[in-house]
Chains A and B, each alone.
Chain A
Amino acid sequence: MTQEQKRDYRKEIEDLLSNYEDGWDIFTKAQDWSHPIRFKPDAKGHDLPDTWLGLADRVISIIAHGKYGLDTYPNSIWVITAEQMLDAYSSVGMPVNYDHWSIGKQRVQEGKNYNAGRSGLAYEIVINSSPSIAYCMTSNTTLMQMLVIAHASYGHNSFFKGNHLFRQFTNAETIIDELEHLRDSIKKYEDLYGIDEVEALLDAAHALENLGVNRYTKPKKRTPQEEAKRRADLEEIRLQNVNHVMDTVRGKPAPADDFNKSSSNVTIPADLEENLLKFLASYAPHLKEWERDLLRQLSDKAQYFYPQRQTQVMNEGWASFWHYTLLNDLYDLDLINDKMMLEFIDSHAGVLFQPDHDSRYYNGRFNPYALGFAIYQDIKRICENPTEEDRRWFPDLVGKEWLPTLKEAMQDYKDESFVLQYLSPKVMRDFHMFAVHDDEADDELEISAIHDDDAGYKHVRRVLASQYRLGDIEPCIEVAGYDYQDTRMLTLRHKMFNNKPLDKDNTTRVLKHLHYLWKHPVVVHSVDEEDTVADTLAIPRAAKDEGPKVGEKMRYTMHLTM
């Protein structure tokens, strides 16, 4: 990253605030965020913020950009009520949504939890779009608003813009347009084909959403010409099929032998092999064109959310690091007072609370805010004040400038590799981490490592990193076969990770949805490293008997081309 021109951020803030009657005290004086803004008669500058929130944002932005050189999308701050926050909750924060019962259900649930006092509301939600939209609740205190702006509009925002997964897999400039297009398409199809038809398709697609993303390769955008050609080719293939059927009816000789071979001429491009929604959109035998269109659009939407699942620790940690740093800067500049600082420390500690494994608040996972924040803080510490241990573990970090190092750690990793690369013995000690080995074959659990020696640290780190591995978070399922000639059976392969089975009940229900779209038998084989089948689920159940049995090797019925 190029070193930005060092800006005199203090002077910039002075110049800015000198235009206001409240001057330097404007943040400490305000009772709430609707505090009136009064310009001095000699105020100059054409784009002076005219709201308190706008001014808070401007000051934070001067520090974030001027002092730390954070690179962000433009910001849009939306002031909303608690009810609207619940709405946003129910729709993953997205400002544009199509109508679906699941959102209605989620809203009921959120409202119930909130009204029962079971859950508070997050202070903010922020959208990976350009401009990046941050929701600020109207009930937040002045300090909370500043915290939210620092956390969301500068922390998360710079993460969205900087992290390679987001850069690669999402498009912040167009997401809102895409969502609008999706919503409008659904509305149109509902008018044309009825709400029930569309709802059934959406239900099925939602069940498959996790399987509807490209995990390893960025989906290639086709040019309009390519898309047109592809459609024409598909149409050709479909017509060929029909012709063969007609030929048999007319008593013509059966097509050439090679056509009847089970590995026929259907070739599935590699990027469709892992993206089930796109695969269905292209190859499901009986879908109508509008259904294919929706599946493609929903796959794009799933793809947009895909990086978020893999960067939770990094993303929340990064945002927390920056709200902490920026709020401390405001305090150092005397822009916020001791009272506000105490409130901040209290909130900060609440957000970063990490319950112990035996606490009733522990949910089985690390608090991503706490873990991420600790690691970023630790990187900074290693750069500036390394210990002997750090010199051994992180020779590359010691003595480096902390800011570029930190940005690099944000840009080039995802949770798994981030933990593997940067989790230090000190952080492991601070969290009192220990690793538990749980093997089905064993009656008891075993403590496999604790934070004691190098071997222990390495083991703990490796295990923790693997917890964030995609294959561990969710089952890895790919299209493995399409019996194009005979039964039209669709075969999926679940590559087991650590022999973990699929949840039978849920998987069967998802397969029903898949069957609704495919309309021919669908089957999923769980296979081990040697491609030996360990378990099989199928809809309809009878289809289970057609493929390989448990203990047999997988069979493939189609060519895959790269």
Chain B
Amino acid sequence: MTQVVDRRAQPGTTTSSRERFVRRNKKHIKEAVDRAISNGNVTDIGSGGVDVTVPKRDLSEPIIHHGQGGINDRVHPGNKEFIKGDRLPRPQGGGGRGSGKGEASEDGEGEDDFTFHLSEEEFLNYLFDDLALPNLEEKKEADLERTKLAPAGIVSSGAPNKLHLLRSKRQKMGRVIAARKPWNDKILELLAEEKEILGSYDSDAPTEKIVSGLPKAWSPKRDQIRGLEKEVSSLKDKFGVAVSGEHAARIADIEIEIAAAKRGISLIPGWNESTDLKFRLSLPKPIPNSKAVMFCVMDVSGSMDEETKNKAKIFYFLLYRFLKRHYQKTDVVFIRHHTQAEEVNEHDFFYKKESGGTMVSSALTLMKNIMNQRYNDGNWNIYGAQASDGDNWESDNGKCRTLMDDILKDTQAYFYTEITDGSHQNLWRTYENVKSAYPEKFWMGHIVDRKDIFPVFREFFKRNGKDGQSVASQLKPQAYAIG
């Protein structure tokens, strides 16, 4: 007997093998990712995935087979002109074969390369593998200051205002139905007997025996009883006078017993407070605070050339994707500055050009102001990320140092990347002081080349082996509850 099975809705069977395949090619993926970061437009990086090229040799699975040489006798089809004894030159690259086995390269791959496409999801997975921002969820419960009452089930005692009417009624009905059952069964039995006795006087009644008197289809006991009572009383009207002797006595007994049973039913309590009443339970529950805001601060002054800006853009791009990926509610504030700072939207942040001198303090002041205006309700985890070529007006550095004290007071972490191919600039030295004052909150990295961006990024966020949290998450994030 053949089975026909429609398996079209079944998930693919090679998904996890693909993961293994991707995993095995991490090295090549890293190269491809680096290339994508170096060459791609900031907002396009990784969108649509990337192509990863792997040397064929890395992927080929060797098996032992014959090499060229020795004696090969082969039969081929399609003889047109050969006769026995003909001699022909040996074709190149194969022992008398029509066409070689080698695969021609048809989509621009070299013959020794194997290219596969890494989807955007896989690309991002790879990018952010093992990375975590200071993770709010992991810390939230220990640090909770406030909680919210949340439904936590149904219990049998509680304050009257928590009474759950529906559940209480259901409970009561169940109990009552169960308690009535023996009485009802008894009444049905008695009525059936009475009906049978009365029926025996009915000469017109069908001759086959009434088996139980119960209707075949299920109906509520009460309806069954009513039905039977109706039949019995009509039978009684007809034949009641004819009944006598033993039968009459039995019927009298039956009626007494039915009355007793009905009284039994009437004694079943309607509401029993100790068992029927159900109440809603609410328990205080910690509320995860996954609200975070990231301040992206970038220097767009004249000393930042196009390439330096690009590097900064790439760094922010990574950060931006990372945040969007990890937090449901994440605000990002873009602040660009030269001698003056302004808050801009994402597009302007990345693409609008400006020039001028550099006063970092202008950006820090603006950041502080925005923090005070919009993110001061205690519900926000605040992160700062600054990119600069490190060039600042010498006289401005002291102001920056002071502002930093103020900012770090309310932020979880602040990341500074200096993008310069030369030696460290004056801002770096200023920030080194900050770093030593706030070793847990303040992070610095140095980017010379595009290829440095990713390692620095990873350095900031990498999990450190033991507790699986990022370095940055060793800081204690403030956690707040939403009222």
With an 8 A cutoff between CB atoms, is B92 at the interface?
no
For residue B101, CB closer than 8 A to chain A, the reply is yes
User: Nearest Cβ distance between residue B432 and chain A, in whole angstroms?
Assistant: 41
- Decide: A444 and B87 in contact? CB cutoff 8 A: yes
Contact partner, A475, options B65, B74, B94, Cβ 8 Å = B65
- A363 to B77 alpha-carbon distance, docked (Å): 11
Known pairs A116-B107, A203-B61, A435-B73; A104 contacts B83 (CB<8 A) = no
Q: Which of A157-191 touch B at CB < 8 Å?
A: none
A81 at interface (Cβ–Cβ under 8 A)? Answer: yes
Contact of A105 among B59, B74, B101 (CB under 8 A): B59
Of the residues B13, B80, B96, B106, contact of A438 by C-beta under 8 Å: B96
How far does the Cβ of A156 sit from chain B's closest Cβ, in whole Å? 14
Which one of B5, B14, B18, B82 lies within 8 Å of A434 (CB-CB)? B82
B166: interface (CB < 8 Å): no
Which residues of chain A come closer than 8 Å to B70, judged between CB atoms? 440, 496-501
**5 new A-B contacts at CB < 8 Å, known A78-B7, A87-B14, A358-B78:** A87-B13, A105-B21, A107-B17, A432-B79, A464-B75
- List the B side residues contacting A444 at CB < 8 Å: 87-90
Given contacts A207-B62, A363-B99, A506-B62, contact A77 B75 (CB under 8 A): no
Tell me the bound Cα distance from A426 to B35 in angstroms.
62
Query: In the complex the two chains form, is A79's CB within 8 Å of B64's CB?
Result: no
How far is B87's CA from A500's CA once the two chains are assembled, in angstroms?
22
Size class of B's contact patch?
A: 35 or more
In the assembled complex, A451 has its CB within 8 A of some CB on chain B: yes
Can you list 6 A-B pairs, Cβ within 8 angstroms, ordered by A? Answer: A57-B2, A103-B21, A362-B99, A433-B79, A438-B90, A450-B82
The answer to whether A451 and B79 touch across the interface, beta carbons within 8 angstroms, is yes
Determine whether the beta carbon of B64 is less than 8 Å from that of A507. yes
- Interchain CB contact under 8 A, A450 and B66: no
Q: Quick check: B89 and A499 within 8 Å, CB to CB?
A: no
Which of B74, B82, B87 has the most C-beta atoms of chain A within 10 angstroms of its own C-beta? B74
B65 closest partner in A (C-beta): A503
Chain A nearest CB from B27 CB (Å) reads 13
B 35-79 contacts with A by CB, 8 A: 59, 61-79
Residues of A within 8 A of B8 (CB): 79-81, 84, 138
A498 touches B84 (CB 8 A): no
Indicate with 1 or 0, residue by residue over A349-368, a CB within 8 angstroms of chain B CB atoms: 00000111111101110100
What A residues does B64 contact at CB under 8 A? 210-211, 474-475, 477, 502-503, 506-507, 510
Question: Would you call B90 and A355 a contact (CB within 8 A)?
Answer: no
Of A19-27, A46-54, A312-320, the one contacting chain B is: A46-54
State whether the Cβ of B186 lies closer than 8 Å to any Cβ in chain A. no
Contact residues, A73-116 vs B (CB, 8 A): 74-81, 83-84, 87-88, 90-91, 95, 97, 99-105, 107-109, 112, 116
Residue-by-residue, is B15-39 near A (CB-CB < 8 Å gives 1, otherwise 0)? 0111111111000000000000000
Q: Are B74 and A438 in contact (CB under 8 A)?
A: yes
Contact A118 B106 (CB under 8 A): yes
What is the CA–CA distance of A440 and B14 in the complex, to the nearest angstrom?
44
Digitize A472-505: 1 where CB-to-B-CB distance is under 8 Å, 0 elsewhere: 0011010000000000000000001111111111
Instruction: Tell whether A447 is near chain B: CB-to-CB under 8 Å.
Output: yes
A433 and B63 contact, CB distance less than 8 A: no
A270 at the interface (CB under 8 A from B): no
Collect the chain B residues with CB atoms within 8 Å of residue A434's CB: 75-76, 79, 82
Chain A residues, CB < 8 A from B88? 444-447
Contacts A57-B4, A80-B7, A439-B71: A101 and B83 contacting too (C-beta < 8 A)?
no
- The reply to whether B4 and A51 contact each other, CB–CB distance below 8 Å, is yes
